[in-house]
Amino acid sequence: MNDILKGIKNIIFDFGGVIFTINPQLSVEAFKKLGIHNIGNTYAELEKDELFEQLEKGKINDAEFRNRIRAKTNLNITDKDIDEAWCKMLIEYPKENIDILLTIKNKYRLFLLSNTSNIHCNYFTNKIINEYKLSLNNIFEKTYYSHQLGMRKPGEDIFLKVLNDNKLIPNETLFIDDTIINIESANKLGIKCYYFNKGLKLTDMFF
């Protein structure tokens, strides 16, 4: 990993699967327990549903999302049940990840770039405050969330937004993500990339 850090001044981190432990299949199973069986048997199938893409692009708000879930399923499910099922995939911030980020933020300009939704964002921003008395804004120079920007990875526009906003030089910038299609998109713009394959840890990368 040391070789890829040569000449790097800026690091753009993906969130879920890199900094925060997730298991998306848990949300699929939680929806099934609510009686929702027609939105996919795997998370990959669920992501292909236009409803979830619109949610992560901020094209629909939380209330519209919940109402459309109820309409798709013809079930009288509470907002709380829907939110809890959707957030079931969000597991934890490993302490070593927080420690690493707090250490390297003095060496690199750090940015967060996540495909997410308002429901998820509220959950994980509150979780880090409650567990570590920290805000993600204490760690990252700036956070970028798809639902606030109206665009999501792997679209090149979202990477250009981060580069242009912060006057980042692509070959001095490292992007770390656990989804290969996002890596390929960023790489086309000249950004150095690291594919955070399953089983890797941030401690493997920086120490």
Q: What is the pLDDT of residues 73-107, one digit of tens each?
A: 888 999 999 999 999 999 999 999 999 999 999 99
Q: Secondary structure of 158-202 in the HEC alphabet?
A: HHHHHHHHHCCCHHHEEEEECCHHHHHHHHHCCCEEEECCCCCCH
pLDDT confidence of residue 2 = 63
The tokens for 185 are 């998109």
Is the pLDDT at 9 greater than 90, yes or no?
A: yes
In this structure, are 80 and 113 located in the same domain? no
In this structure, are 61 and 146 located in the same domain? no
Is the pLDDT at 1 greater than 70, yes or no?
A: no
Find the angle CA(4)-CA(152)-CA(117) to the nearest 5 degrees.
Answer: 115
Q: What is the pLDDT of residues 139-153, one digit of tens each?
A: 999 999 999 999 999
Domain that holds residue 68: 25-87
Q: What is the pLDDT of residues 27-79, one digit of tens each?
A: 999 999 998 877 766 676 666 778 899 999 999 999 999 999 998 888 899 99
Task: Give mean pLDDT, residues 110-124.
Answer: 97
Q: What is the largest CA-CA distance in the chain?
A: 55
At residue 129 the predicted structure's pLDDT band, cuts being 50, 70 and 90, is: very high
pLDDT confidence of residue 42 = 67
Report pTM.
0.94
In this structure, are 68 and 167 located in the same domain? no
Residue 67: half-sphere exposure toward Cβ, Cα within 13 Å: 5
Cis peptide before 154 (omega within 30 of 0): yes
Q: Sheet containing 109-114: give its strands across.
A: 142-145, 109-114, 10-13, 173-177, 192-195
Q: Which of 100, 77, 78, 106 is nearest to 176 (CA)?
A: 100
Number of domains in the chain: 2
In this structure, are 82 and 96 located in the same domain? no
The tokens for 152 are 């999501």
Q: Of 63, 87, 111, which residue is a domain's last?
A: 87
